[in-house]
């Protein structure tokens, strides 16, 4: 199977009638028609075998995750997905691998109305790079995009969903942790098949003051908000511990608080949203949570003093040095 046969068989689709994609796969460029009164939001993410995923991963789940991590960036911006490109390096053109990969990829794309419009394929070590495009409304000349730079002292600090379970699954694969079967499968699903919080991001437009997606770990990704906004924050350690879903099951996992807190704060691969909102907007945040069917937890507050502080149940400062993932460390 040659390169163009591969593209035609697994990745060529007819654009939806009436949608923003005027021309998709097949020419040197795709053609998009932006909706009136919107801005384009664009983001890219790369997944490399051995660095971002294990060689044993189900290709259908890998297809899902490759797009999910990009949709998570659109979610953090409050954008509506429109289209994406796929650059794919493969050791060989293996139809038995490509078919489930394409199914997982395109099923998630269809669920979010996000069309594959082009990209590139080549032979090489397994490497996936997706560039995703979305739209955010502009109202009275002002973009409704959620940014990292809007947090203000006194704002509440929130996290969607759960944190730490994806890293817990990775530690099981590494042999540093043990989990009973059902708990491991649940954690593994969080690692291999994350849910991008697109609906929540859209629901938070006009409510959240700042947002980011949690890909490298809460400490690191919250840190982006704090630096861009010129503020600091404190986190309630007890509320943070409640975010590890694996601890809420009936099994005794043997995870001490220190280990569990490390997974939550710096585990990474969660693809949840961390966001801030004024304290006066608490009811609006809960309404956004309900409307998007996405749980959110208030875990702290934004403060004027720079830096990130972790507080125990008595409000005392905890001495921890959790660091999020860095590709070059």
DSSP string across 142-207: EE----SS---TT-EEEEES--SHHHHHHHHHHTS----HHHHHHHHHHHHS----HHHHHHTTTT
What's residue 249's pLDDT? Answer: 61
Structure tokens belonging to residue 177 = 């942790």
What's residue 193's pLDDT? Answer: 94
Say if CB 96 and CB 138 are below 8 A apart: no
Residues 69-79 as b/e (b if ≥16 CB within 10 A, e otherwise) read bbbbbbbbbbb
What's residue 94's pLDDT? Answer: 87
> Has residue 120 got a pLDDT over 90?
no
> Has residue 179 got a pLDDT over 90?
no
217-272 pLDDT, tens digit per residue, is 999 999 999 999 999 999 999 999 999 887 766 555 667 888 889 999 999 899 99
Task: Report how far residue 284's alpha carbon sits from residue 192's, in angstroms, rounded to the nearest whole number.
Answer: 32
> Has residue 327 got a pLDDT over 50?
no
Distance of CA 262 to the CA centre of its chain: 19
What's residue 321's pLDDT? Answer: 73
Structure tokens belonging to residue 315 = 């409000």
Strands 307-311 and 232-236: parallel
What's residue 323's pLDDT? Answer: 64
> Has residue 279 got a pLDDT over 50?
yes
Please name the residues in contact with 164: beta carbons below 8 A apart, sequence gap of 6 or more.
Answer: 243, 244, 245, 246, 260, 263, 264, 267, 270
Please name the residues in contact with 103: beta carbons below 8 A apart, sequence gap of 6 or more.
Answer: 60, 63
Among 23, 20, 19, 42, smallest CA distance to 33 is for: 20
Q: Find the range with the poorest average confidence among 19-28, 156-165, 311-320.
A: 19-28
In this structure, the number of other CB atoms found within 10 A of the CB of residue 201 comes to 32
What's residue 30's pLDDT? Answer: 72
- Strand partners for 83: 115, 133
> Has residue 328 got a pLDDT over 70?
no
Mean pLDDT over residues 184-203, rounded? 95
Task: Report how far residue 112's alpha carbon sits from residue 199's, in angstroms, rounded to the nearest whole number.
Answer: 10
Q: Say whether pTM exceeds 0.85.
A: yes
Task: Report how far residue 273's alpha carbon sits from residue 296's, in angstroms, rounded to the nearest whole number.
Answer: 9
Say if CB 161 and CB 295 are below 8 A apart: yes
> Has residue 13 got a pLDDT over 90?
no
What's residue 325's pLDDT? Answer: 47
In this structure, the number of other CB atoms found within 10 A of the CB of residue 310 comes to 20
Task: Report how far residue 310's alpha carbon sits from residue 241's, in angstroms, rounded to the nearest whole number.
Answer: 12
Say if CB 137 and CB 80 are below 8 A apart: no
Q: How far is CA 200 from CA 110, 139, 164, in A?
A: 18, 19, 20
Report for 18-22, 37-41, 226-230, 244-248: range of highest mean pLDDT: 226-230
Task: Report how far residue 284's alpha carbon sits from residue 215's, in angstroms, rounded to the nearest whole number.
Answer: 26
């Amino acid at each position: 199977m040659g390169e163009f046969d591969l593209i035609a068989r697994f990745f060529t689709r007819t654009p939806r009638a009436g949608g923003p994609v005027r021309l998709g796969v097949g020419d040197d460029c795709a053609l998009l028609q932006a909706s009136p009164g919107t801005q384009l939001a664009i983001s890219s993410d790369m997944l490399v075998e051995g660095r971002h995923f294990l060689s044993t991963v189900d290709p259908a789940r890998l297809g899902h995750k490759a797009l999910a991590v990009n949709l998570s960036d659109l979610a953090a911006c409050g954008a509506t997905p429109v289209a994406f490109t796929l650059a794919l390096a493969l050791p060989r053109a293996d139809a038995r691998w490509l078919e489930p990969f394409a199914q997982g990829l395109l099923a998630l794309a269809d669920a979010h109305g996000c069309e594959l419009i082009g990209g590139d394929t080549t032979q090489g070590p397994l490497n996936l790079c997706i560039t995703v495009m979305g739209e955010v409304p502009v109202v009275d000349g002002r973009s409704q995009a959620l940014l990292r730079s809007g947090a203000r002292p006194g704002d509440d600090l929130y996290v969607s969903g759960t944190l730490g379970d994806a890293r817990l699954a990775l530690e099981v694969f590494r042999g540093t942790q043990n989990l009973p079967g059902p708990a491991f499968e649940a954690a593994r699903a969080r690692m291999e098949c994350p849910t991008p919080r697109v609906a929540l991001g859209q629901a938070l437009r006009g409510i959240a003051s700042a947002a980011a997606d949690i890909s490298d770990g809460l400490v690191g990704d919250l840190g982006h908000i704090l630096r861009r906004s010129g503020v600091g924050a404190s986190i309630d350690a007890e509320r943070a511990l409640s975010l590890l879903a694996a601890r809420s099951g009936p099994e005794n996992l043997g995870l001490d608080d220190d280990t569990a807190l490390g997974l939550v704060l710096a585990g990474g691969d969660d693809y949840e949203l961390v966001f801030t909102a004024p304290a006066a907007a608490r009811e609006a945040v809960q309404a956004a949570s309900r409307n998007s069917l996405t749980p959110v937890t208030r875990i702290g507050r934004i403060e004027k003093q720079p830096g990130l502080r972790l507080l125990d149940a008595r409000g005392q400062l905890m001495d921890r040095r959790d660091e999020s993932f860095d590709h070059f460390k």
